[in-house]
Structure 1
Amino acid sequence: MSAQSIRFEDIDENQLLSFTPAMRQFVEIKQANPGLLILYRMGDFYETFFDDAETVHRTLGLTLTSRSALVSGARIPMAGIPYTTLDQYLLRLVNQGFSVGICEQIGVPGKGTMDRKLVRTITPGTLTDESLLSERSESCLLALYASGKKGKIGLSWMIISSGVFKAIETDESALMSEIERINPSEILIPDSMRDTAERVFPDRSVTALPDWHFDRVRAEKTLLSQFGTSTLEPFGISDSDLLITAAGVVAEYARGTQGTELTHITGIVRETDSEHLGLDAASRRNLEISRTLRGEQTNTLLSTLDHCKTAMGSRRLLSWLTSPASAQKTASARSDAIEILLESMPELENIQDFLKSIPDFERTATRIALSSVKPRELASLRDCIPSLNVLTENIQKLAAPLLANTAEKLPLPQSLYDLLDKSIKKEPNTFIRDGGVIAEGYSAELDDLRAIKDHGGKFLVEYEAKEKERTGIPTLRVEFNSVHGYFIEVSKAQIDKVPDNYRRRQTLKNVERYITPELKEFEDKAVSAEERSKALEKQLFDEVVEECKKYVTELFESAHAVSVLDALSSLATHADLYRWVKPEFTLNPGIDIKGARHPVVERTIENYVPNDCELSAQRKLHIITGPNMGGKSTYMRSIALIVLLAYSGSFVPADYAEIGPIDKILTRIGAADDLVRGLSTFMVEMTETASILRQATDRSLVLMDEVGRGTSTFDGLSLAAAIAEDLAVNRQCFTLFATHYFELTQLEKTVPNVVNMHVAATETNRDIVFLHEIREGAANQSYGIAVAKLAGIPRNVIRGASKVLEKLEERAAQTDDRQLDLFCAPAEPQFEQAAEKETELNELLDKIEDIDLDDLSPRQAWEALAELQKTAKQFR
């Protein structure tokens, strides 16, 4: 091993004893925290060693070196991160899913071995630093716990940066829907569930903890300590061992990562399945709420609607769109507020102007609670308080209950403004370590130190002049050197005039140097003025932060009010720009939409064709036929998105919308395999369909697009027919069912509440024209070959497909076979000769079609016609 790099797992007790003290300390910290990538402060670098160094080398591209730490001379892999650029590297590591431990030097330099301590843990779900967090999304930590009884699962999640702490009890069938809704950045699970969780959540950061962490008694003690209560009754989770356990794990883990108490987390909110409009994982993906099917964040519902002026507003808007309220009352309150804002456009414009000046003080409040807030954040908070007061005055004029409630919570206490105004400079430095943060006049001691530091030269000039006058020694000088400090220099010819309070400091050949009590006092202050002023500033700043902690609750309430106001203003702005209308809610089951438009697509095309949709007790399932590219999927998505927007509280892209009670939106759209979980395209389709059939109720909106196309014709048709009939008869949900199986249009005659609809198109001599209109009745054909022609399929292939289609249609009408064999030998004995003739004829037709008559002279046209006539005679 002496000539090789030693690996961490190979270290035994004897080898550890031969390490340097610093390396032994690292190994001990790493052994206690095996799941963390340890950044170990050594001077101006955070060093990594062993496997961590190789990981950093691969992930960040940093140079991999080594150091000797054994008597034998074996090398330890090492890679370092400059402390000045830590944040940018941390962000890259966390985005790759790593959990990082920061070890700082806590000893005094030059006094023996420098001690180091793990002071902070950074994981994907526990980010609070401004430099690590995305402005418009959250870092969410979730714990999952299942007892194995009745298939129930406890979920609890915390967003440390926003002070959110919630829990919900769900079952296995709804687990993935809840995970997609909550969208955790990190999932905590018992170690015994590791393999299952990594298979079920392959794209998420999963942290496995020892099973003993998931102990109900331990969890309850953690929560009681966190909330400072003697019972969990006030929080509504005392009856659920699952929720107590999951919540306790989240709280303990989050507290451990921050290295301090989470004083801003003072309670937990229990949610229920009925609070939100149900959206399964496939529906969230298919409706492209916050990400497109390709994973992009542009051209989504959120990016389309987001005109928010603050990051808090964008996050609130995202939460409304991803977790629409199931209660019509909640959605109506938001749309009523939007209506009032639209009727008061001057106030709306004024509100948005003031919102531009509001910083993200929701996260500032968290960092105040964690004692990690930066000076400029406090300055920004101070500067926005007057704007909050003006916003309050603007909103109080508007008659909407939600706006009135928002106005009550917007203002922040004047005492907080006064504290920050007198304590923090108008434009403080970024970091407290640099000084220049505390305002002048806040501390007399600090002002004195600054005066000494900044105006020491002036003091010395004035002191020298004063001493010359007092002693009558015109040649007296006040000077300084690094060895003896400050002194008064007097020539030996004048020493008889030296006052009694002068004390000799040094004797030279021609002069004597003295010190006075006053000059000594100045010297003591001046030598350490900068260090002392910075230390005092840090102390004063910490005291200000402690005082600010008293206002954390009010800060969160005000931030919530700002986010609601900003989200409502954004929705009002979009409604005004694109002529959206206020939806009407009714208790009667059904959906009646006139002039429906897709909220994203309508912005990207010039002439969008709106369509109507009527789903009622007598029209529960629409069989939609028609060509590809005709707009079936866009139409279906537009209806689902209008319902989602309405229950989010938004206006909707339509001429009129009346919407009854809806509990879920369930979709099966698109075709893709899932290689990670070993599922084929058809298996994904059937899995999602099965999920819909298990979840759908008579109040669900279901979108089914081309179900059954991933298998043979009759298998697919049989499945599609049975699924459609089950949705109409057994589930009785409101369903838009797009298909190319024209046989399904017969369901209208045999199954009640089924109606046929089609996407209109017309075919000219050369092309197909898509009208993008949804009309009553069944389509007469799919125009698939016409679409293939538009896509650029070679003409000979198109003609071949047309011939095969004719044969298949003829044979289908003459046979009772369950499956038609496309490649079976035909009955005609001259088939091969006919095929050759047909190929030649196709080539002739290609030549005719390729002739560009506009480019031919009369002579050239005659020659071309003669050549074609000669070729045609060969077919007689």
Structure 2
Amino acid sequence: MAQAAIRSIARARPADEAVSASGPAVPGATPMMAQYIEIKAANPDCLLFYRMGDFYELFFEDAEVASRALGIVLTKRGKHAGADIPMCGVPIDRADDYLNRLIALGHRVAVCEQTEDPADAKKRGPKSVVRREVVRLVTPGTITEDRLLDPGRANLLLAIGRRKVAEDAFAYGLAALDISTGRFSLSEVTGADLSGAVARHDPREIVLSEAIHADPALARLWKDVSAPVTPLAQAELEPASAERRIKAQFGVSTLEGFGSFSRAEVAAAGAALLYIERTQIGARPPLSPPAREASGATLSIDAATRANLELTRTLSGERAGSLLDAIDRTVSASGARLLAEHLAGPLMKLKAIARRQEAVAFLFEDHALRRSLRDALARAPDLARALSRLGLGRGGPRDLAAIRDGLDAAALIAARLSEVQALPDGLGRLGKHLAGADTDLVETLRAALADELPLNRRDGNFVRASYHPEIDEARLLGQDSRKVIAALQARYADETGCRTLRIKHNNVLGYYIEVPQAVGESCLKGLMRETFVHRQTMVDAMRFTSVELGELETKISGASDRTLALEGAVFEELATSVLAQTAAIAQVAEALAGLDVAGSHAELAVEQSWARPQVDDSLAFAIEGGRHPVVEAALRRTGEPFIANDCDLSGEGRGRIRLITGPNMGGKSTFLRQNALIAVLAQMGAFVPAARAHIGLVDRLFSRVGAADDLARGQSTFMVEMVETAAILNQASRRSLVILDEIGRGTATFDGLSIAWACLEHLHEVNSCRALFATHFHELTALSQRLARLDNATLRVAEHRGEVVFLHEVVPGVAERSYGLQVARLAGLPAGVIVRAGAILKGLEKAERDRPGRPRIDDLPLFASLAPPPPPEPPAPAEDDALGAMLDAIDPDAMTPREALEALYGLKRERAATR
């Protein structure tokens, strides 16, 4: 294995130094392998895709890793240092599929291409190898290819910087950058809010300084995040260099035009741009100017609450079953991404919420406008990602077509909106942004691009016929050279008067003119003697050439290459025209996405009968007929109805708390979650699943519903529960909404009851927030007599013939009992266990009545066995059972309706006589 050689080369020179064509002096290595080792040394933390012909090859440990990860065959190629060299490879035309799998597994890949023609390499000597260079590093946060991206999910790279604000406290700057769309935003949060901010952005990759990565206080956060974390050297992230990078990226001399940024935000932005510069090998993606998110602009939701509420993904990591999946009615990829962004960061500004609601309400009412807009949006390609690929030099003809079709759709939508009277402000702004599309650019692209387009520009044949005369000529030469030669032959025959003149071709002379020997001299007198040049005299023929034929031969032999070169020039010209309007096209893309989200909300509201909520600056929280959007959608697929419930936590100056008791499976958790989700939907500007809703702004949303062991950190279920509860009690304000389920159930009964009791009092007296508190500790219901803003509620249950029926209806009051045995029976516990549990329960209840306090085990009778008791003996028949005898004598199938009625009257008479 050549790892020692690779390490020595890595120490000997910087990673970005050019790789020589002859390769370094690696003892025992072939020139090609020496080149590979040198390039690998410059990229030790990446799998190296090394271009060899039509394959990307991997060697040594990279080959072993890729072989296992991709399930491809591991082979050998020669020897190095006395050992076989492991090798595997992937075909270039399928490289994206393999890259996608490697990136999904957390690997980074360096793509090494041939940057020299093999013919030029041979001129330097027989042992020279083709020059190769790493043209990009493929990492999870820097992907731009459509086939590697999730259309409906942003592909964010999140960079983190920090500044000290106190002796032991830092403020953290976040730079969220998506090079696939150009999105670039900056924000600053406190240390306590860092994990929640990271969860909100849901990045694909995180970069930060080595100092931040090594901070023990943040070690748990880096373990929790699912995205790979890449530390950068502290020396490369100096504030002055960070500011220079931002200025260079946007070609400005000062950052004041973008707004006021903190040192932590500038540091984060500099780290993000440094990482982009490295991974793109100097290429600069077309980024939007950095937009600063004001502190407190969005509803704060911590990571645990996001997971518990399953906003964008379920606890198992799937999109299906999440709130995002249930509400998504978008028809475009950009709209789907914006919807996810809105859901991740509900608003805190009433004007912005109202602007979104007005747009949704207008489309909700105008069915024809909504349908026409959604039809047009469904035909609009992903402008933002096509523009980014063109900016990075990775675009293809289909990206140009996407720009054409997207701008065309934008113009049609803008025209449609201009016909509508009294548009709300939100829709009006979007319409103005769409109207900025350049119609001249659309017409140029329409005239230049063919109907059927290849994926890559190197495939050629994407320029429309008649757009470029030289391309048409080159294609004609390349595709139908026989017709061109025949036309020239006919002209020469006509001009010379020699009807036997032929233009022929062989491998020695190439194209030549041939006439019979007998007529050669007579045909080639005068002017044609000056045009034709004698080449060869045969026994029965003479051969000539001409300047025109020589030029034509040159054109024919290089027609294919010339066609590709000309089409490449046209592509560059069109791409330059597109990139000259980057800002305007990006604005159009944002407007299309905004319209799609508004239309999605309106479509969902019509489809599901959702209502526009009233959102204001009060402490109201009044929901009438509220439903859980995800559960309701699941029930609708099975044809079952969802039981709607009201919830009122409104208060004057301080919020109310509702204490909810009731059986498991009664619907407590669903009720808790649905009210939290209604608050999220309301503040993101959507309609909500309720008959009516009045919600005062919620500044923080907390949820502790369910828990699980965290064995990796050595934390039990109860410890996880207490950590999450502590975060709530320490951070909730009177504007917060808190939902808590079964606090204290993870420990001994009296310990848990005491903790739940104290938490409830703290929420009431200290936090003063709006809260839903579900519990099985019925003792807590007595607190409603002492805590003025505490109400009791329960889930209605009915019993029928010994079976429990859950009605899922929330009503005022207290649950009579927990119905735990009934739920256990429904779960399939053995009958003997159910019977035994019932006996123990009766004993415990009797002991509690006889001697208040905690019953002891030895106070209870002990069953000798847990085996189910024998079935009861059937009762012996009565000696004189006249009624039974009459029933035995009846054959219902053989009776007429009249006979059946007479028999029934007879049974009633007999019954009356025996009483």
Normalised to the residue count of structure 2, the TM-score between the two structures is 0.88
Deviation at 1:780, TM superposition (A): 1.5
* Offset at residue 260 of structure 1 (A): 4.3
Name the structure 1 match of 2:571: 541
- Measure, in 1, the Cα distance between the counterparts of 2:412 and 2:515: 66
Q: CA deviation at 1:42?
A: 1.3
Determine if contact 2:163/2:264 at 8 Å carries over to the other structure: yes
Deviation at 1:562, TM superposition (A): 0.6
Q: Is the 8 A contact 1:665 1:701 kept in 2?
A: yes
User: 2:598 is matched with which residue: 568, 590, 595?
Assistant: 568
Q: Would you say 1:25 and 2:1 are equivalent positions?
A: no
Quote the residue 1:409 is aligned against. Answer: 433
Partner residue of 1:90? Answer: 99
User: 720, 730, 733: which is aligned to 1:697?
Assistant: 733
Corresponding residue of 2:836:
800
Contact 2:836 2:866 in 1 (8 A): no
Give the direction of change, closer, same or farther, for the CA distance of 1:825–1:410 in structure 2 (3 Å limit). Answer: same
Structure 1 contact 437–537 (Cα < 8 Å) conserved = yes
Q: Deviations over 1:136-166 (max 9, x none)?
A: 0011111123345523222212011111111
1:317-336 superposed matches below 5 A: 317-336=339-358
User: Which stretch of the first structure deviates more once superposed, 804-813 or 547-556?
Assistant: 804-813
Query: Per the alignment, in what secondary structure is the counterpart of residue 756 of structure 1?
Result: strand
Contact 1:416–1:548 (Cα < 8 Å) also in 2: yes
Matches of 2:614 and 2:5 in 1, distance apart?
A: 65
CA distance in 1, matches of 2:192, 2:513: 87
Q: 1:12 to 1:250 in 2, by over 3 A?
A: closer
Q: 1:776-804 CA distances to partner (integer Å, 9 max, x unpaired)?
A: 12112111111111222222211211121
Amino acid paired to 2:594: V
Q: For 1:145 and 1:192, how far apart are their aligned partners in 2? A: 10
Specify the alignment match of 1:272 in structure 2.
294
Post-superposition Cα deviations, 1:182-238, rounded to whole Å, max 9, x if no partner, equal 011001122344465664233221112222222212211111211222222233344
Q: 1:440 Cα shift?
A: 2.7
Structure-2 change in CA distance of 1:679 and 1:273 (3 Å) = farther
Pick the aligned partner of 2:200 from 181, 203, 222: 181
Question: Quick one: which amino acid aligns to residue 27 of structure 2?
Answer: L
1:68 deviation in Å? 2.8
Counterparts in 2 of 1:329 and 1:845: CA distance versus 1, 3 Å: farther
1:52 matched residue in structure 2: 62
Moved more, 147-156 or 319-328: 147-156
- Answering whether residue 504 of structure 2 is matched by residue 494 of structure 1, we say no
Q: Which amino acid aligns with 1:156?
A: A
Instruction: Give the one of 78, 83, 96 matched to 1:74.
Output: 83
The correspondence for 2:241, drawn from 214, 218, 241, is 218
Match of 1:853 in 2: none
Structure 1, unaligned runs of 5 or more: 850-857, 863-876
**Counterpart of 2:352 in 1: which secondary structure?**
helix
Instruction: Give the structure 2 partner of residue 142 of structure 1.
Output: 158
Indicate conservation of the 8 Å contact 1:761/1:770, yes or no.
Answer: yes
1:9 Cα deviation (Å)? 6.8
CA shift, 1:646, in A, is 0.6
Amino acid at match of 1:228: G
Which region of structure 1 is more displaced relative to structure 2, 789-798 or 556-565? 789-798
Q: Secondary structure at the match of 2:146?
A: coil
Count of matched residue positions in the alignment of Structure 1 and Structure 2: 837
Counterpart of 1:758 in structure 2 is: 794
| Aligned counterpart for 1:718 among listed residues 734, 754, 774 | 754
In the other structure, the counterpart of 2:472 is: 447
CA distance in 1 between partners of 2:874 and 2:757 (Å): 45
- Counterpart check, 1:509 vs 2:536: no
| Residues 382 and 402, structure 2, Cα contact 8 Å, conserved in 1 | no
Contact 2:162-2:263 within 8 A present in 1 as well: no
Give the match for residue 122 of structure 1. 138
What is the aligned counterpart of 1:436 among 444, 451, 461?
461
SS in 1 for 2:869: helix
Q: Is the 8 A contact 1:99 1:122 kept in 2?
A: yes
Answer yes or no: is 1:843 the counterpart of 2:869: yes
Residue in structure 2 matched with residue 591 of structure 1 by the alignment: 621
Q: Give the partner amino acid of 1:404.
A: G
Q: What is the alpha-carbon distance in structure 2 between the residues aligned to residue 325 and residue 373 of structure 1?
A: 35
Cα distance in 2 for residues equivalent to 1:352 and 1:752: 50
2:47 maps to 1:37: yes
User: Do structure 1's residue 201 and structure 2's residue 230 form an aligned pair?
Assistant: no
CA offsets, 1:619-650, max 9 Å, x none? 61111001111111111111111111111111
Q: 1:721 touches 1:744 (CA, 8 Å); kept in 2?
A: yes
- Contact persistence 1:20–1:69 (CA under 8 A): no
Equivalent residue for 1:769?
805
1:81-140 Cα offsets, whole Å, 9 max, x none, are 111211110111111111111010112203232111011111101111111111100111
Matches within 5 A, 1:159-178: 159-178=178-197
1:224-623 aligned within 5 A: 224-238=247-261, 240-262=262-284, 264-396=286-418, 397=420, 399-411=423-435, 412-497=437-522, 498=524, 499-500=528-529, 501-605=531-635, 606-617=640-651, 620-623=656-659
Deviates more, 1:563-572 or 1:761-770: 761-770
Say if 1:24 and 1:839 are closer, same or farther in 2 by CA, change over 3 A: closer
The aligned residue for residue 870 of structure 1 is none
Distance 1:295 1:477 in 2: 73
CA 1:275–1:552 in structure 2 vs 1: closer, same or farther (change >3 Å)?
same
Q: 2:741 and 2:538 mapped to 1: Cα distance?
A: 101
Judge conservation of contact 1:192–1:211 (CA < 8 Å) in 2: yes
- The match for 1:731 among 747, 764, 767 is 767
Secondary structure, counterpart of 2:207 in structure 1: strand
Whether the 8 Å CA contact 1:226–1:266 is kept in 2: the answer is: no
Q: Which amino acid aligns with 1:471?
A: T
Q: What is the distance in 2 between the residues matched to 1:527 and 1:651? A: 66
**Post-superposition offset of 1:815:** 4.9
d(CA) in 1 for partners of 2:234, 2:7: 27
Cα shift at 1:6 = 4.7
* TM-score normalised to structure 1 length: 0.92
Specify the SS of the correspondent of 2:859: coil
Q: 1:434 to 1:839 in 2, by over 3 A?
A: closer
1:344-365 CA-partner distances (Å, limit 9, x unpaired): 1011111111112111111111
For residues 507 and 846 of structure 1, what CA distance do their matches in structure 2 show? Answer: 123
Unaligned runs of 5+ in 2: 10-23, 123-127, 876-883, 889-915
1:668 alignment counterpart: 704
Whether the 8 Å contact between 2:757 and 2:780 is mirrored in structure 1 is yes
| Partners of 1:505 and 1:192 in 2: CA distance | 79
Aligned AA for 1:132? Answer: L
Aligned amino acid, residue 581 of structure 2: Y
Separation (CA, whole Å) in 2 of partners of 1:486 and 1:599:
76
Q: Quote the Cα distance in structure 2 between the aligned partners of 1:11 and 1:343.
A: 67
Instruction: Give distance in 2, aligned partners of 1:257 and 1:15.
Output: 27
Deviations 1:667-713 (A, max 9, x none): 00012122233321111111111111122100001000001111111
Amino acid of the structure 1 residue aligned with 2:859: P
Aligned equivalents of 1:741 and 1:848: distance in 2?
41
Aligned-pair distance for 1:11? Answer: 6.3
* 1:781 partnered with 2:817: yes
Percentage identity across paired residues of the two chains: 37
- Residue 533 of structure 2 aligns to which amino acid in structure 1? R
C-alpha distance 351-249 of structure 1, shift in aligned 2 (>3 A): same
Q: RMSD between aligned alpha carbons?
A: 2.3
Deviations 1:291-342 (A, max 9, x none): 1122221122111111211111111111111111111221221111111112
Determine helix, strand or coil for the equivalent of 1:616.
Answer: coil
